[in-house]
Amino acid sequence: MLSNLPPLPHTLEVSVVIPCKNERDNLAFLIDEVGEALAERAFELIIVDDGSDDGTDMLLRDASQTRPWLRHLRHEYSCGQSNAVRSGLLYAKGEFIATLDGDGQNDPAFFPQMIDALKQGGPDYALAAGQRMKRTDGFVKKYGSRLANTIRQSMLKDNTRDSGCGLKVIRRQVFLNLPFFEAWHRFLPALVVREGLKVVHIDVVDRGRSHGMSKYGIFDRLWVGIIDLFGVLWLRKRRKKIPILSEIDLSGQNGTDA
């Protein structure tokens, strides 16, 4: 299984990846919230600017002058949230990848608890998934999300009631090996379980949006995601065996599990 692969070299404990499109006003306070939450950790914050035109670049340029842990990646045009998350992952240096949405509704104060939960669980625990309590979204968005999660659970049986929560922490090594497709970030629990690994769930507080409107739509998590749902179901069924890998010592002695 993936947890038996040799570790990748890391220089940081955690890389926080925030995908965003035109969220300048929310980033203005999110950046410092991340810094406060992880002040005792070796971390970096990667803002993936998904084609913003609201002055996000100027905000990040100014903020980076006093925050050496802040990095700015930019898509020349909007490629969607999944591609933004993946871009951040490919540039990240941390052992763990922590994600949250750029709308300010996710509170990064939960990241230390999520990281520690994975460490305590051991290498077979690959993902800490936030589960939102007392949602603050409007009726339509809450209903669409609830319906999508109900359908997903009935088909994938991933034991996750809220896979759409942006607060997640996943081992980078595992994340890199998951199959990529549009909206993959909404199916991480099922994809991790597919690899024979485990998920720990953490209850988190959902906050109201302070500025702006959703940039990635309301019903994409249901109607567009139906095709992806069947695709993930197919992927789950096509994973027949999980290899347990060990390296053989050519000097004549069996090595330990890699």
Decide if 151 is inside a domain.
Answer: yes
Tokens of 38: 């992880």
Tell me how far apart the alpha carbons of residues 157 and 112 are, in angstroms, rounded to a whole number.
Answer: 28
Tokens of 116: 């520690």
Residue 219 has pLDDT above 50, yes or no: no
Where on the phi/psi map is residue 16: left (φ > 0), alpha (ψ -120 to 50), or beta? beta
Question: For 166-198, what is each residue's pLDDT tens digit?
Answer: 999 999 999 999 988 888 888 899 899 988 899
Residue 10 has pLDDT above 60, yes or no: yes
Question: For 82-100, what is each residue's pLDDT tens digit?
Answer: 999 999 999 999 999 999 9
Provide DSSP, 83-113: HHHHHHHHH--EEEEEE--TTS-B-GGGHHH
pLDDT-based confidence at residue 39 (cuts at 50, 70, 90): very high
Decide if 252 is inside a domain.
Answer: no
Decide if 49 is inside a domain.
Answer: yes
**Which residue range(s) make up the domain with 227?**
10-241
Decide if 250 is inside a domain.
Answer: no
Residue 8 has pLDDT above 90, yes or no: no
Q: Residue range 218-222: average pLDDT?
A: 49
Decide if 258 is inside a domain.
Answer: no
63-72, 115-124, 198-207, 240-249: lowest mean pLDDT where? Answer: 240-249
- The percentage of the chain sitting over the pLDDT mark of 70, rounded to a whole number, equals 72
Decide if 236 is inside a domain.
Answer: yes
CATH classification of the domain holding 159: 3.90.550.10
CA quadruple 57, 51, 169, 5: dihedral, nearest 10: -110
| Structure confidence at residue 215 (pLDDT) | 55
Q: Contact at 8 Å (CB) between 82 and 185?
A: yes
Q: Contact at 8 Å (CB) between 94 and 41?
A: no
Residue of 101, 117, 104 whose CA lies nearest to 32: 104
How many angstroms separate the Cα of 72 from the Cα of each of 31, 69, 104? 12, 10, 18
**What is the number of other CB atoms lying within 10 angstroms of the CB of residue 100?**
26
Decide if 192 is inside a domain.
Answer: yes
